[in-house]
A = this chain, B = another copy of it.
Amino acid sequence: MTDHKPDRMRFTHFTSFAPAGPPGAMWNHPKARNFDYTNLDHWIKLAQALEKAKFDGIFWADVSSVHDVYQGSYATAVREAMQFPIGDPLMLTAALAASTKELGFAFSANVIQDHPYAFARRLSTLDHLTRGRIAWNIVTSFQPSAWKNLGHDTIGDHGARYEQAEEYVTVLYKLLEGSWEEDAVVRDLDRRVFADPQKVHAINHEGQYYRVPGIHTNEPSPQRVPFLFQAGTSGDGRAFSAKNAEGMFVYAHTPEGAKKVIDDMKSRLAAEGRRPSDMQFFVHLNFIVGSTEEEAQRKSNEADAYLSSEANITFSSSTMGTDLSAMDLDTPVGDFQTNALQGQFKALAEAAPDKAWTFREVVMSMTSSRIAGTPEQIADTIEAWQAAGVNGINVGSVTGPDDTYDFLDHVVPVLQERGLMQKEYAPGTLREKLFFGSESPSGPRVNERHPAASYRTSNVLAT
């Protein structure tokens, strides 16, 4: 493992295409405006502000259905707008393509929503329309309601979900990297040859979950495979990330906690034949900015009045796969096994190991953690995360875009002044931008150490 002088930090804005997303679901805060989420102008304004501030991207966390584990009902999620209703973030990405030039678009999309053949087409289309500015956060779905509404009897078990995800991305790699050779498209008007069929290959995929015999529907887009994020926290999730991801959302509540995950991941990357710098590590933090520490703290306390413990318990019940209404929330957590976000759950407890955390405390801390301070204090905090090996911050929002705009106006100039944040975009696709200045500078496509590269015709022929 190399220890290199840290380059700039990357910044994405974390949100959902919903009235309110975790954490907090404060759509009812006086300054919240995300309940206007169906209005495209709302998003254009936000995306253009992020681009003006040189944010690397905007990230939509996504679920395919409603959080209905709590009390066995969708009632609380509907009433409290807990990440619901929820639009399709791929559509929103497309809708923002023309209003921006440099901003990246990252979205979660789970592997049970679309057949990989259709999903590959969506990815290529979006990558063309945005000229290579998309990133996909690979998720298995932890929502039983999503599985059931999408035609499955029940949610797959954790290990099987990762097995299916592994085959899913393999199909995508074959389609996106293996089907069309680099020089297949010739657009030769005189000879009337749009593309050379000899250089377009059927993938002949036959696996346990998918059979895809044919060719990809799209000519190569700027990135081919979008920049790949993953947020797995379990052992299965980390193994999947080490193999496939180029960016990882690390759940940690302290820089020390993040460093533990990052160290583990760097070992895993090495075991996969990848370099430590082939992956960038992001942490999700929420900020409340004040001109003084007191002002920030006062704003933060005021925001607490709009927190709903029931909404947060609804979200946690869904991610944990356990109806928390059936439990005594004031009992200690112990070594409770969750359905998803196990690592997030544990990371919090690990952040204060001497404390006997109760379920209620864990849930509320997971969904309301935030850093309140002056721009300088916030920059200091970000430096501390950087020192732990973190490469980027997924900047959440407590009240909806209002505190995001505060961050852009007041914190970004300090970050740029300290060299913590870019002042101009690097050229090229999102992948080139994100790896710019790192020890793994990249072209528009995944590098040769990524498993998708093994399906390139040049590599297939060489083996």
Contact = CB atoms under 8 A, between A and B. Distances in A.
Interface in A272-301: none
B88 A38 contact: no
A118 B150 contact: yes
A420 to B, nearest CB: 32
Contacts of A90: 91
Interface in A2-37: 17, 19, 27-28, 30, 35
Interface stretch (A213-221, A231-239, A447-455): A213-221
B78 A197 contact: yes
A195 interface: yes
A308 B30 CA distance: 63
A38 B128 contact: yes
Contact of A212 (B64, B80, B99, B149): B149
Interface residues of A, number: 75
A90 B119 CA distance: 13
A114 to B, nearest CB: 7
List the number of copies, as a whole number: 2
Which residue of A78, A145, A221 has the most chain B CB atoms within 10 A of its CB atom?
A: A78
Interface string A93-136: 01111110000000000000111011001101110110000000
A196 B84 contact: no
Interface in A193-243: 193-197, 200, 202, 210-219, 221
A187 interface: yes
B40 A97 contact: yes
A321 to B, nearest CB: 17
Which residue of A74, A85, A92, A118 has the most chain B CB atoms within 10 A of its CB atom?
A: A85
Interface in A128-154: 128-129, 145, 148-151
A213 B218 CA distance: 34
Interface in A64-89: 64-66, 68, 73-76, 78-81, 84-88
A212 B212 CA distance: 26
A192 interface: yes
Which residue of A125, A151, A218 has the most chain B CB atoms within 10 A of its CB atom?
A: A125
20 contacts: A28-B192, A30-B189, A64-B117, A64-B118, A64-B121, A65-B214, A68-B214, A79-B193, A79-B196, A85-B218, A87-B124, A91-B94, A95-B98, A96-B98, A113-B118, A115-B151, A118-B150, A145-B214, A148-B211, A148-B213
